[in-house]
Structure 1
Amino acid sequence: MAKRAKDSQGPGTPATKALEAAGVAYTARAYSHDPAVSSYGAEAAEALGVDPGRVFKTLMVDVATAGGNTLCVAVVPVTGSLDLKAAAAAFGAKKAAMADPAAAERRTGYVRGGISPLGQRQPSPTAVDSSALDHPTVLVSGGRRGFDIELSPADLVRLTGAVVTRLRSGH
């Protein structure tokens, strides 16, 4: 059965429920979110005292395919930016752009800054930056601001059905 951290606050989120249903071990990591902060991942790394290279942000991208546009998930470290050309290639497309935040919220069921790659209302094709595999565990949003989930990158990839490729620019 999944491990649930003792520092978890409040009721479970769709992300934690998905992990528990899959029997995946994880640690819930809650922290006090400052509403004035807009760099959610950097805030999480600092508040939790974690190497920022292990904290990954969930970005929704609008990918242009032959069949029309599709919303996809790109999971990249907070220490870098998403390379949109790499994201497009990961999903077999020529072009990708950042998704409209309202469309991302509707699709995932989460609010911006709290979008988790796990437990989304409508699962989307997902790609995880290859640097995730450099760490025994990584942190992703747990489904609300101020709440991250620590889990193995292999479990993240398996549960999201993600492709693993280089998605980041920067470090």
Structure 2
Amino acid sequence: MAKKPDATAGTPATVALARAGIRFTALAYEHDPRAAAYGLEAAEKLGIPPDRVFKTLLVSVDGSLVVGIVPVAEQLDLKALAAAVGGKRAEMADPALAERRTGYVVGGISPIGQKVALPTVLDESAILHETILVSGGRRGLDLELAPDDLLAVTDGRYAPIARAR
């Protein structure tokens, strides 16, 4: 069941959006630790179509970390992400490294407010929606905002990086 978090529920992501003057809505839900897919759980519990809920994935492209953001019901196309940032070889980043570099835990990694600014690519399907949801920086918290605003705050870009499961 969706609910508004209290004012003390700030995360680096919400702080970064507020500082940038970007409008967003924080949507909290009761996270089930047994959930197999965090993004699909968010879509279901918030009653939002899965094509509007995006997951944040960290990838090593030619040895450098890159953020890929794709709809939760789809997969990240590693070759397409590498090409989008001018790289050749891509593989999923080690989860422990992803947590250290972003300051977030796996399942709650937000593309916004990370410890270190990383190249960020948002799947072009986001353009089809007035707003999308991304992790708010912890499990059980999503942020709804315009895709262009997400790219503005992350200095990201659009590219076709998702593929059907």
Specify the TM-score bucket, using the shorter chain as the normaliser.
Answer: over 0.9
CA-based RMSD of the aligned residues comes to 1.1
Aligned to 1:37: 35
Which amino acid in 1 is paired with 2:111? P
Aligned to 2:101: 107
In 1, Cα distance between equivalents of 2:117 and 2:37: 24
1:138 maps onto 2:132 in alignment: yes
In 2, Cα distance between equivalents of 1:33 and 1:11: 15
Which amino acid in 1 is paired with 2:73? T
Which ranges in structure 2 are unaligned for 5 or more consecutive residues? none
After TM superposition, the structure 1 = structure 2 runs for residues 111-130 of structure 1, keeping only pairs within 5 Å, are 111-130=105-124
Which ranges in structure 1 are unaligned for 5 or more consecutive residues? 1-5
Aligned to 2:25: 27
TM-score normalised by structure 1 residue count: 0.92
TM-score normalised by structure 2 residue count: 0.96
Secondary structure at the aligned position of 1:93 is classed as coil
Aligned to 2:5: 8
Aligned to 1:97: 91
Which amino acid in 2 is paired with 1:106? R
In 1, Cα distance between equivalents of 2:92 and 2:110: 16
Which amino acid in 1 is paired with 2:22? V
TM superposition shift of 1:38 = 2.4
In 1, Cα distance between equivalents of 2:41 and 2:66: 24
Identity of aligned residues (%): 57
1:119-158 Cα distance to aligned partner (Å, 9 max, x none): 0011110000000110000000000000000000010011
TM superposition shift of 1:79 = 1.6
- Runs (4+) off by over 4 Å: none
